[in-house]
Amino acid sequence: MEFDDLLQHADIVVVMVPLTEETTGLISTREFGLMKPTSILVNAARGPVVDEDALVTALREKQIFAAGLDVFDQEPLPANHSLMRLDNVTLTPHIGSSTYATTREMEMCAAKNLVQALQGDTPQDLIKELKD
């Protein structure tokens, strides 16, 4: 099934892609026009993947039913942003992965990396730019 067909038939569209040149603006005015008026958009990828201005318009004009966003073009989302004034959108402050399990895993990774560094080894999860 092609992407446009998926948008036309999906009840819920969940965006989970990395931010690249190809995915920036992936969901915009044209895509909202393809979606059903009962569709819900969930963006847990990166903010710029969804055109926020087009999303606000789609929500105001009832092109789609609702949206759930955990990521935004600008984080934190400004208090006066149009998305803050819509009743058909649920916003979370980029905490979608904040569960006990993921927090515990991040703590363990940080501790292991610290021990490796203190032992004179290269930490396993060193940021690439810092390796060079």
- Residue spans of the domains in the chain: they are 3-91, 100-131
Predicted TM-score of the model (pTM): 0.74
Report whether pLDDT(21) > 60.
Answer: yes
30 is catalytic: no
**Mean pLDDT value of segment 2-14:** 97
What residues does 40 pair with on adjacent strands?
Answer: 12, 66
CA geometry: angle 34, 69, 41, nearest 5 deg? 20
Dihedral (C-alpha) 101, 71, 33, 1: value to the nearest 10 degrees? Answer: -40
Quick: pLDDT tens for 43-81.
999 999 999 999 999 999 999 999 999 999 888 888 899
1 pLDDT tier (thresholds 50, 70, 90): confident
Closest Cα to residue 73, out of 14, 12, 19? 19
Q: Which of 61, 75, 105, 107 is catalytic?
A: 75
* CATH number assigned to the domain with residue range 3-91, chosen from the 4 options 3.40.50.1820, 3.40.50.720, 3.30.750.24, 2.170.190.11: 3.40.50.720
Q: What's residue 78's pLDDT?
A: 87
9 is catalytic: no
Report whether pLDDT(129) > 70.
Answer: no
94 is catalytic: yes
* H or E element that contains 89: strand 89-91
What residues does 75 pair with on adjacent strands?
Answer: none
